[in-house]
Amino acid sequence: MTAIQRPWQAPELTGLGRLPMSAVSRIDGSLSLNGEWRFQLLPSPDTPLADRWTLASVPGCWTVQEFEDIHGVGPDLPQYTNVQMPWPDAPPRTPSANPTGVYERSVTIPAAWAGRRIVLHVGAAESVLLVQVGGREIGLGKDSHLASEFDITDAVIPGEPTVIRLTVIKWSDASFVEDQDQWWHAGITRSVSLYATDLLYLDDVHVARATAEGELRVDVRVRAAGGSLPAGWRISGHLEGVGELGPDTAYAAANEADERVSDWLGLARISSLIPPESLRRWTAETPELYALTVRLHRADGTVADESRCRIGFRSVEIVGRDLLVNGVRVLIRGVNRHDFDPLTGRVVSAAAMRADLVAARRFGFNAIRTSHYPNDPAFLDLTDELGFYVVDEADIETHDHAHELADDPRYLAAFTERVSRMVLRDKNHPSVILWSLGNESDYGANHDAAAGWVRHYDPTRPLHYEGAVKLGWADAGHAVSDVVCPMYSSIDAIVEHAESGTQTRPLIMCEYSHAMGNSNGTLAEYWAAIESTPGLQGGFIWEFRDHGILQRLTDGRPAGPASALTSTDAVAPAGHRWAYGGDFGDVPNDGVFCADGIFFPDRAPKPAAYEHRELAAPVRLELTEDGEVLVRNRQDFLPLDVFETERIHAASDESPDAETWLTLRVTRDGEEICTPSIQLRPETRDLLTRADATPASTRVALDADGRLLHPLLAAPLTLSLWRAPTDNDVLGGMAERWQKWGLEAPPRTLLDITDDGARTIIRAEYATSVGPVLHEQILTPLLDGGVLVEESAALPDALDDVARVGSVFETAVPYAEAEWFGKGPWETYPDRDTAPVSRHGSTIDALFTPYLRPQESGGRNAVRWITLSAPDTPALTIHLDEPRQISVTRHRAADLARAAHHDELVPLSDRCVVHVDAAHRGLGTASCGPDTLPRYRIPGGVVHRWSWTLR
C-alpha cells in the first residue's frame, strides 16, 4: 500500500474530509449514537473482516471491555509506559501487530432532517479514526483527544436506515506525539452523535473579548452549505441579564467594502459595553457566568441557526513578573489532571468530571492543567461553572523521540493543528487563562509555528511551554512561553531565580511535588517560598489521581465498565486490586510510576491532599505579641463572611498550665474548608514528669538476650533504623543504600547489663556494613506498673541519612482504637505536617494508609502522648519526652516491603506494631523531583537520644 492508503503511517496526513474545528454550541438537540455497536477487533488494519460480529460499548476503551474474540487476537489489555514507546521502531513506523477496532451500526436518519445539512460527530478516538457511511469513504481524523466532525449529507437519505462504520487503529504515526505518562488504551473514548443544521449555518462563534471592564466582542463566521451566502442574512445576540445585542454595523460596513471578503464567507460582529453597575466579573473565587445566545437570521428574519454558551467577563495579562486576573496577582494552587477512570480507562463521564473538580476544590486547588491534552468540552464547562484557572494543553508529547520530532517537517501539521484546533474549540471558556503547546517535546521550529498561529489568533491569553524555558529561565523560549514553567525545580532554584535580577516573566511550576506513594514532603516549604518571594506564583502538583485500574484477582482482567465502586476509602473492593504497570502482562512497562496522584484511584484523598488543603487555607491565624489571635483573609476576591467557623480548644492534659492550642474549623455550606491551628500556651514542663512517674523498687524483667519483657509486649523492644521503603526511597536511591548497609534487620550483640539502683542499663551493638551502632537502654519500672524507657543510639559517621532512629515493639493486645495529642488527625511526617495540634482519635485500622504499592505509612508527627484501647482490655499509653514521630499499624515493616500489592498483605490479627521514633527521615519527592531538605535527614556521627514511658 502507499502512504495514503496506510494513513496510520503518514504523519503529514492529519485529517481528511474533516470539518474545521469551531466553538459553536447549538441549542437544537442531536441524535446520540452512544450504546452498543457491532464490533470486531482485528490483529492489524489489513486483516479482512469476519462474517460475524460481537458487541462493544461506545464510548468505551476496548482495552477494559470484554467481548467475543472473533479473530483470535486475544485480549488487548492496558499497557503503562512513561517515556518509552511500547515498540522500538523510529517514527513514523508502527508495529505489524496493530490492534484495530471496527465499530458498525445501522442508523435511521430522522425524516425531519430532509433538506438539512447532516453532520457526524465523533468526540474522540484513539488514535486514528476512519469513517465510512453507507459504504462510502467519508474521511479520517487523528488526535486522540479532540473531536472529528464530518459532513455526511450526501451519504445518507433522511427517513431511511444507513450503516455507519468507524474503524479505529491503535498504533500510528500520531502515537509518537501522544507519548504521555499514562496507560495506553484504544477505542472511541467520547460520545458519538449526529446533528443537523440549516443549509445556512453558524460556522464559528468567537468571544474575542469579554473583559473585566465589561467590553464584549463576539466574532461570528457564517457559511452556506454547497454555495455562496444568500442575500439579507444577519446576526443578533442576547446576553443574560443585559438584553438584546445587535450587530456591529461599522464592522459590517467595513467588511462589505473590503473586496477580500468572498461571497462564500460571512463575517459579522457583536459589540457591547456592559454597564459597570451590572457587571459581574469571573474569577476562580467568583465564577460569575452569563448565558450568551447568538442567532443567525435569514433575510425574512426567521432564525436559521442558534448557538448558546456561558461566558465570563475577566481579563488575563502579564505585567512584569506577575500574571494578573482582573488586575490582581493570583496564586496558582494547581494540580495536573489526566482523563482517567479506574473502571472505564480514558472514558470519563460528566458526573465523574464534576466529582474530580469538587474534590480538587475541597482540598484547596484553584487551578487545573489538562495534562497533557484537551479534556472533554464538558470539563471546561465545569471549570467555568465551579471556578478554576485552567492551563489548556495541546495533545503533543513526543517524550521518547522529543528532539527528533520538534523540528521534523513531517510533523509540522500535527503540531500546529493540535494546538490550533484546541484553541478554536476552547476559546470561549473564561476558565482558560493559558494556552499550553504540549508537554515534554523538546523545542523546535514546530513549536514556533504553533505559537505564531495562537499569538495571531488569540492575543488575549499568554502562552505556556516548559520545553522551551528549560533552556534558560531568563532568556530562552520567549517566542513560545510567556511564563517560566519549570518541572520539579528545587526551592533554592526558584528563589534564586526570583532574586537574581534576571527574571522577566512569572514563574509558575507546571509540575512539582510528585505525589507518588507516601510523598509530597516539603510542600509547606515550597509555599512559604512562593508566598514570600515576588516573582513566584505557584504551580501544579503532579498529579490528581493514582492511575490504578481495578483488576479482578480471579482472572487478572480489568474489572471493566460494568463494575461499580460504591465507596471512596482507597481500598480496592474484595476480590480486586488496583493494577499498575506490568499487572496485565504488559511489556515494556514502567511499573508503579502511574500511581502518583494526590488522590487514590477511587478519589479518596491521600494525607498529602489534607496537607495541601491547609497550606491553601483561605483563613490564617496569627498570634500577636499581646496574645491576641488575628484571623487573616488569604483570598484574592472574596470576604471572610462567606465562611462559618467553629472554635476548638485542646490541651495536652487537665492541668491548668498544660500546653493549649486553638483550632478553627472553617466551613462553607457545611463543607470543611480548612482547620488552621495556633498555639496559645506552650508546654513548660518536662513531659515525662508526672505524679505517677515514681520509680518502683522492683526490677524490670528481661529475656535471655537482655530485651524488655512486659505484659503489654508480644514482641520485644528493638532498635529500628529502617522503614518499608517509600516510592521516593526506592527511586531516589535511598532504599538501595539502606539495603547495602544492612539496616532492615541488623544483627544485635548484647554487650552488658547493669543495675543502677532502680534502673537497669542494657548496652547492645547493632552491626551494619559501615560500622556498629551502639544502643543503650535505661529501663526504670514505675509504681503504676509502667516503664520509663531512656534510649540512645550512636551512629557511626558513615551511617548518614538513615530512614529512622527509634524503637519498635509489638503489643500483646490487638488494640482497636487510638487517641493522641499531636498533629493529625490525618497521617503526618516531619516534612509533611501542616495539621492541627489537638486531641485526635481513630481506629487502628484507619491509621494505616493503603498506598498502591505497600510502603511506610500510618505515621503521626509531633505526638506528645498516645493511648491505645480495646473493649474489656487495659489501655496502653505512651508519653514522650518531646513531640516525636509515632506509628501504630497491624503491619511489620518487612511485610510491607515484600508486598507488591495490598492483596498480598495479611494484617496481624493478634497485635499492633508500634514505632516510637527519636528521628524520622522526611519524605521528599525524589521519585521525580527534589529529595527532602537537609534538615529532615538523619545525620550520622551523632548520638540520638529519646525517652518515653510505657503504661
Active site residues: 440, 511
Strands (E), 890-926: 913-920
Task: Return the sign of the alpha-carbon dihedral for residues 836, 841, 846, 848.
Answer: positive
List C-alpha distances in Å: 890 to 358, 375, 607, 887, 895. 33, 41, 19, 10, 10
Q: Round to whole Å and give the CA distance between 254 and 567.
A: 61
299-303 long-range contacts, CB within 8 A, separation 24+: 299/230, 299/231, 299/232, 299/233, 300/232
Specify whether the CB–CB gap between 636 and 583 falls below 8 A. no
Neighbours of 692 (CB within 10 A): 12
Task: Return the sign of the alpha-carbon dihedral for residues 903, 905, 911, 913.
Answer: negative
Q: Is 574 helix (H, G, I), strand (E, B) or coil?
A: coil
Q: Round to whole Å and give the CA distance between 772 and 761.
A: 19
Q: Round to whole Å and give the CA distance between 14 and 6.
A: 12
* Cβ-Cβ contacts under 8 Å for 293 (sequence gap 6 or more): 27, 237, 238, 239, 306, 307, 308
Bridge partner residues of 913 (DSSP)? 810, 889
Residue 350 main-chain phi, psi, to 5 deg: -60, -35
End-to-end CA distance of the chain: 81
* Cβ-Cβ contacts under 8 Å for 175 (sequence gap 6 or more): 85, 94, 127
Grid cell at residue 615: 497550606
Bridge partner residues of 137 (DSSP)? 132
947 membership: H or E segment, kind and range: strand 943-950
697, with CB counted inside 10 A (0-12, 13-18, 19+), is: exposed
Neighbours of 287 (CB within 10 A): 19
The distance from CA 663 to its chain's CA centroid, rounded to whole angstroms, is: 29
Specify whether the CB–CB gap between 762 and 789 falls below 8 A. no
Residue closest to 165 by CA, chosen among 69, 11, 58:
58
Bridge partner residues of 333 (DSSP)? 539
Grid cell at residue 843: 481506629
Q: Round to whole Å and give the CA distance between 914 and 916.
A: 7
Specify whether the CB–CB gap between 380 and 389 falls below 8 A. no
Rounded to a whole number, what is the largest CA-CA distance in the chain? Answer: 110
List C-alpha distances in Å: 280 to 42, 513, 636. 54, 35, 16
Residue 408 is classified by DSSP as: -
Residue closest to 721 by CA, chosen among 420, 940, 427:
940
Specify whether the CB–CB gap between 813 and 732 falls below 8 A. no
Q: Round to whole Å and give the CA distance between 500 and 915.
A: 45
Grid cell at residue 859: 505515621
Task: Return the sign of the alpha-carbon dihedral for residues 610, 612, 618, 620.
Answer: positive
